[in-house]
Amino acid sequence: MPRLNPEALTFGTFTSSYPPVEQVVQSAQALEAATVVAVPSPYESLSLLALEAFSVGTPVLANARSGKKQIRSRIDNIRELVSPRLIRHYDRLSKARPPALVPVEGDTCQGCFMKLPSQFVQQVRQDPEHIHTCPNCSRYIYVV
């Protein structure tokens, strides 16, 4: 678990620092390798940690007042709005090589860490209405 950097937060205004990509990948791998993630707090039962665990398919043990049924219902309702072909591809990626949705930083896919052609990245950047996939790893991508 990453340790809080006391210099990252200040009083009066909000500032934060982002963890390096390697830490994020290690966290995702740890969540994926876990048998279960326990979130005992009644106040944070559906925390970001729980949602990240859901995204890699790891079961979450949460407080009964967590609202998991409501969140699952909302997820199911949203999934009905998306093309079944896109959902199948997303589900396959989520199981085989999570995460299924990754950013492109610079010209590099953050899923497979391969450099993408600059012209392709420019096309992704100029066409936000289209759903793009990495030509190397087939993950869904978006440009940061």
What is the token pair recorded at 124? 């992704």
Instruction: Give the sign of the dihedral formed by CA 134, CA 32, CA 39, CA 90.
Output: positive
β-strand partners of 132: 141
What's the mean pLDDT in 78-98?
92
Average pLDDT of the chain to the nearest whole number: 80
pLDDT at 87: 93
**pLDDT class of 138 with cuts at 50, 70, 90:** very high
State pLDDT tens for residues 3-60.
Answer: 544 444 444 454 555 566 676 667 778 888 888 888 766 666 567 777 788 888 888 8
Span of 31-35, 109-113, 133-137, 139-143 with lowest mean pLDDT: 31-35
Classify burial at 81, counting beta carbons within 10 Å of its beta carbon; exposed 0-12, middle 13-18, buried 19 or more: exposed
> Across the chain, where does the E strand assignment appear?
37-39, 60-62, 101-105, 108-109, 132-133, 140-143
133 φ, ψ (degrees, to nearest 5): -125, 155
pLDDT at 31: 81
* pTM of model > 0.75: no
Please identify which residue in the block is written with the tokens 């830490």.
Answer: 23
More confident residue, 74 or 83: 83
The residue among 22, 19, 40 whose CA lies nearest residue 30 is 22
pLDDT at 42: 64
